[in-house]
Structure 1
């Protein structure tokens, strides 16, 4: 168990750095500007910053999910940033410039709003959420993201070739570290997970598919925009949530459920992804799907 806790601490402390660096290396002004100028960008911000958190709060207040599961679902809904969405959007032939613009914008907004969001969640879920002091947030989440983000931006300016070569390995490390941390969290918290009520799993599925539905509707009428917003609404930023979960002793009870939720929401999204591919093909007369926006540089 001590080895697992050490592994979790190492992964959590490093993947937030990798996330910031990768986002900075992804900041291509051409692609970003193309995404921000699209009408669906504002709708995507509304869905991710307002629609998904409201949906999560309603679901956990209506269903008897228990305080820990409720806190996890709400916390992850309040941590937008979708670092993993670009890969899925690319596979689904969605609008990549739009997704990139949302990913970077939401990550920065989440950092700015984090102290206020945690204060609100602490009042709504006092048994599960404990807002850490601002100094802890600054040390564990805000600076470990913003400093590498700034370094990535600087590297793009002074050495764009090196920035391009570095981006791929950083992205791979982030995805591996996040997966390892989530798996270790689930194993370490397995006794707690066995006690979760079935309604907790129902709530996770409802929030996942409900978020996808909100994004899908907001992205109309273009198929690529629908795909981008649906996936962006589901894939919030587990890196921020994991770092917050490990920030104080009281919050550490959440991390195992966070790992489980990350796995379950990925699985719960599969029916939408299958349906979406078939729906796009039928809209285009059964031919191969084409992305609606110019392909952006892959990023987290």
Structure 2
């Protein structure tokens, strides 16, 4: 068990560094400028920074949840920034430049506002969330993200060719490390997962689908913007949440539920993805969802 905890700790520290480097290497002023200038960008910030945290806190307070489940749902909502969303948005034919702008902007806001966010969460969920000292937060989360982020921007300026070559392996390492950490945390937290109540799963599904719905509505009238904002609202930044959960006790008790939440969130998003594909086809076909024969006859 000690070896497993050591591996989890190494992965937690590694993918925060990989996240900062990946975001820095992806920092292209042209792409970011196009995304920031779009009207849906501000609406996306409001959904991710305000609407999703408010929904998560309300669900965690209203439903009869265990303290650990309530703390995980709230903590994940207060860690926006969507490093994995670009692949999903691309697959769903969403607005990539808007997603990139939201990803980088939300990650920076989350890391800079983290002391304030944790102080608020500590008051709302004192049993499960106790903010680490500022020194621990700075050493384990903030600097490991910001330093590689700035290095990535510097490399992007000095040698765009090498930055593009390094971006793909950095993203691959981040995704593999994150997935491995999530699975190991679920395995290590199996005793606690057995006690997770039915309402915990209900809350995770409600927050996931509610976040996607708010993002989709905020992205109207363009289907590509709706897709980008819906995915951005759901795919918060588990890297920040994992690093925080592994920073101090008792927050370490959250790790197993965090890994499970990633899996539940992926499954809970499937109904929206299926509906959205049909909705996009209907939009491209003239805004109706009639069967092909009836549409041709009309």
TM-score range, shorter chain: over 0.9
Write the distance in 1 (CA, Å) between the matches of 2:176 and 2:36: 29
Q: Which secondary structure state, in structure 2, belongs to the residue aligned with residue 146 of structure 1?
A: helix
Report what 1:49 is aligned to.
49
Equivalent position of 1:128 in the other structure: 128
- TM superposition score normalised by structure 2: 0.95
Larger Rg computed on CA atoms: 2
Alignment size in residue pairs = 287
Q: d(CA) in 2 for partners of 1:157 and 1:129?
A: 40
Distance in 1 separating the partners of 2:13 and 2:65: 30
Give the alignment of 1:51-70 within 5 angstroms: 51-70=51-70
Where structure 1 has 5 or more consecutive residues not aligned to the other structure, the ranges are 288-300
Q: Which runs of 4+ in 1 moved over 3 A?
A: none
Q: How does 1:6-21 map to 2 (within 5 A)?
A: 6-21=6-21
Higher relative contact order (CA 8 A, sep 6+): 1
CA distance, structure 2, for counterparts of residue 64 and residue 158 of structure 1: 54
Give the deviation of 1:3 after TM superposition. Answer: 2.3
Task: Please state whether the residue corresponding to 1:128 is helix, strand or coil.
Answer: coil
Which residue of structure 1 lines up, in the alignment, with residue 109 of structure 2?
109
Alignment of 1:135-174 (within 5 A): 135-174=135-174
Cα deviation code 1:250-289 (max 9, x no counterpart):
11000000000011101110111111011101110189xx
Paired with 1:96 and 1:160, the residues of 2 have a C-alpha distance of 20
Deviations, residues 120-162 of structure 1 (Å, cap 9, x unaligned): 0000101000111111110000000000000000001111111
Secondary structure of the residue aligned to 1:129 is: coil
* TM-score of the pair, normalised by structure 1: 0.95
Distance 2:27 2:236 in 1: 19
| 1:83 match | 83
Q: Distance in 2 between matches of 1:249 and 1:116?
A: 19
Matches of 2:188 and 2:196, distance apart in 1: 15
CA distance in 2 between counterparts of 1:249 and 1:76 reads 17
- Runs of 5+ in structure 2 lacking a partner? 288-298
Aligned to 2:294: none
Q: What is the DSSP-based 3-state SS (H/G/I as helix, E as strand, rest coil) of the residue aligned with 2:113?
A: helix
**Is 2:250 aligned against 1:250?**
yes
Q: Is 1:240 the equivalent of 2:268?
A: no
